[in-house]
């Protein structure tokens, strides 16, 4: 994909469904009794991988673009897959499904693409093993492919060293099948879709917040039955982030982004925008299925640098590549710290962000747990090496819209992972 700078992005954007919530609808629906009907489902490659895994375990799932109907078979209705479960590029599929597989009376094996098979799985293997699960890394390198054999699960309390919704959700799902109570405390609160949704599906799940709502313990008790639900998936704020950035950075722009999920555990980018002096407003706030939603209006703004750290990081971890692009265009310095988790995403995003920003002429330094961006210099077009990371492709497509000359995004088709219609949506705003 080749892109050049533009001016005047104007209009309304409907953002596709939230990736995290779409995965969970399929997973929780599959292990519920009765039908789960999903609208505004995200038909990206990651969520298609989740559908494929559950179909391979005997679940009938009707999927037509943004509509999904899951014919759940109950907590004990999955059947042994004949083949390896292919989780593709999806960390969420891998880590959450392991919690479910750990509670099954059959063996299973899962594997993904090169990026997925190099991401750390010790973070789930260790606590699952403490619960009595039999999970092993086939190559003994603490990564997928993973092999899961039946185990007798019991509840534990786990104090997670990282704020990770994937780790927390994995353990809560295993907790459905474990004797007694399973609880997870995280250093900072990560996205809480699992807790909110499992409650709607009928699980006995609770969250206790400490120290002003940042630190939290989520707990679940063994479960007899979950019940199919009707779910309308909110627009994904992680996808909205590209249009927020485009509206703020591209001259003479005004974009209305409709029906965006603004759960506080996900909405850190809105706070960062405000701290950077953005012209951004949120209205029409409402709730659907326990999740807050709103419309976001952005207009071209002169941004200034900020500091992003601590409890804010898990609330915007996937948006850091595009926030870094905003910081490169902002006056002054932006410091991003406490974000070492960036190193274990689809790529090492401290490297992929800073290497590509530098290639565009930005003055940026990678650090051990983030980056320091000295903004305000003009960016110039170059070749962007996405390393097949969807969020790098999209973040640098936004940079391309404000850079001099031509920017070539290599492997731009990788946007299919989370936002198949990303480039088409842009065309509607020209
Ligand atoms: C996700 C959790 C986050 C996020 C990922 C989706 C989820 O990962 O980066 O894109 O759906 O639970 P971690 O839990 O590893 O932080």
Please give the distance, rounded to the nearest whole angstrom, from the Cα atom of residue 191 to the centre of ligand 1: 8
Which of 88, 91, 161, 238 most suits a substitution to test ligand 1, by most atoms within 8 Å of the C-beta?
Answer: 91
Active-site pick, 18, 236, 295, 318? 318
Residues 6+ apart with CB under 8 A from 89: 45, 46, 49, 112, 113, 115, 116, 346, 388, 390, 417
Please give the distance, rounded to the nearest whole angstrom, from the Cα atom of residue 404 to the centre of ligand 1: 34
**Residue 36 half-sphere exposure toward CB, CA atoms < 13 A:** 35
**229: exposed, middle or buried (C-beta count within 10 Å: 0-12, 13-18, 19+)?**
buried
CB contact at 8 A, 102 and 151: yes
Each residue's pLDDT tens digit, 238-260: 999 999 999 999 999 999 999 99
Shortest-distance atom of ligand 1 to CA 23: 11
* Residue 180 sits in the same domain as residue 239: no
* Residue 172 sits in the same domain as residue 308: no
Amino acid 409: pLDDT: 98
* Residue 162 sits in the same domain as residue 54: yes
* Residue 264 sits in the same domain as residue 283: yes
* Residue 320 sits in the same domain as residue 372: yes
Average pLDDT over residues 33-56: 98
- How far is the C-alpha of 290 from the C-alpha of 240, rounded, in Å? 20
Domain boundary among 232, 253, 271: 232
Domain boundary among 177, 207, 232: 232
Angle between helices 91-101 and 45-55 (to 10 degrees): 20
- CATH number of the domain to which 92 belongs: 3.65.10.10
* Residue 168 sits in the same domain as residue 274: no
Residue identifier of the C-alpha nearest atom 10 of ligand 1: 318
Each residue's pLDDT tens digit, 113-163: 999 999 999 999 999 999 999 999 999 999 999 999 999 999 999 999 999
Tally of domains within the chain = 2
Please give the residue range of the domain that contains residue 368. 2-16+234-427
Each residue's pLDDT tens digit, 266-304: 999 999 999 999 999 999 999 987 899 999 999 999 999
* Residue 244 sits in the same domain as residue 388: yes
CB contact at 8 A, 224 and 380: no
Shortest-distance atom of ligand 1 to CA 163: 16
* Residue 290 sits in the same domain as residue 335: yes
Domain boundary among 217, 232, 247: 232
Amino acid 213: pLDDT: 59
* Residue 151 sits in the same domain as residue 257: no
Which residues form ligand 1's pocket by a CB distance below 6 Å? 20, 92, 164-166, 169, 190-191, 317-318, 341
* Residue 56 sits in the same domain as residue 157: yes
* Residue 264 sits in the same domain as residue 396: yes
Residue 60 a catalytic site member: no
For residue 375, give the nearest of 357, 387, 359, 388 by alpha carbon.
Answer: 357
* Residue 303 sits in the same domain as residue 179: no
């Amino acid at each position: 994909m080749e892109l050049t700078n533009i001016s005047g992005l104007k209009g309304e954007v409907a953002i596709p469904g939230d990736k995290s919530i779409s995965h969970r609808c399929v997973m929780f629906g599959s292990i519920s009794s009765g039908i789960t009907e999903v609208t505004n489902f995200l038909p990206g490659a990651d969520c298609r991988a989740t559908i494929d895994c559950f179909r391979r375990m005997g679940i009938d799932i009707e999927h037509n673009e943004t509509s999904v109907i899951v014919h759940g078979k109950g907590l004990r209705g999955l059947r042994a897959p004949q083949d390896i479960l292919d989780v593709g590029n999806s960390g969420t599929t891998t880590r959450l499904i392991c919690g479910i597989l750990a509670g099954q009376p059959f063996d299973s094996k899962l594997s993904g693409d090169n990026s997925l098979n190099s991401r750390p799985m010790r973070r789930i293997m260790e606590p699952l093993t403490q619960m009595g699960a039999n999970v092993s890394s086939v190559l003994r390198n603490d990564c997928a492919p993973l092999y899961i054999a039946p185990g007798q699960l019991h509840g534990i309390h786990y104090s997670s060293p990282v704020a990770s919704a994937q780790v927390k959700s994995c353990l809560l799902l295993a907790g459905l099948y474990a004797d007694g109570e399973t609880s997870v405390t995280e250093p900072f609160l990560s996205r809480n879709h699992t807790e909110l949704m499992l409650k709607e599906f009928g699980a006995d799940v609770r969250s206790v917040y400490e120290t002003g709502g940042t630190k939290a313990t989520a707990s679940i008790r063994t479960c007899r039955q979950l019940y199919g639900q009707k779910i309308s998936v909110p627009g994904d704020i992680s996808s909205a982030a590209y249009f927020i950035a485009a509206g703020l950075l591209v001259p003479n722009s005004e974009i209305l982004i409709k029906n965006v999920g603004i759960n506080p555990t996900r909405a850190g980018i809105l706070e960062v925008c405000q701290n950077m002096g953005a012209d951004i407003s949120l209205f029409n706030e409402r709730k659907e299925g326990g999740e807050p939603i709103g419309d976001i209006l952005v207009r071209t703004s002169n941004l200034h640098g900020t500091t992003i750290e601590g409890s804010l990081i898990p609330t915007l971890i996937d948006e850091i590549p595009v926030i870094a692009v905003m910081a490169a265009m902002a006056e002054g310095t932006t410091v991003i710290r406490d974000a070492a988790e960036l190193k274990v995403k689809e790529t090492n995003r401290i490297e992929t962000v800073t290497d590509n920003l530098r290639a565009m002429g930005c003055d940026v330094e990678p650090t051990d747990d983030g980056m320091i961006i000295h903004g305000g210099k003009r960016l110039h077009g170059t070749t962007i090496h996405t390393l097949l990371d969807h969020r790098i492709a999209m973040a640098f497509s936004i940079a391309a819209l404000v850079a001099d000359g031509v920017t070539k995004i290599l492997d731009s088709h990788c946007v299919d992972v989370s936002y198949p219609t990303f480039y088409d949506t842009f065309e509607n705003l020209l």
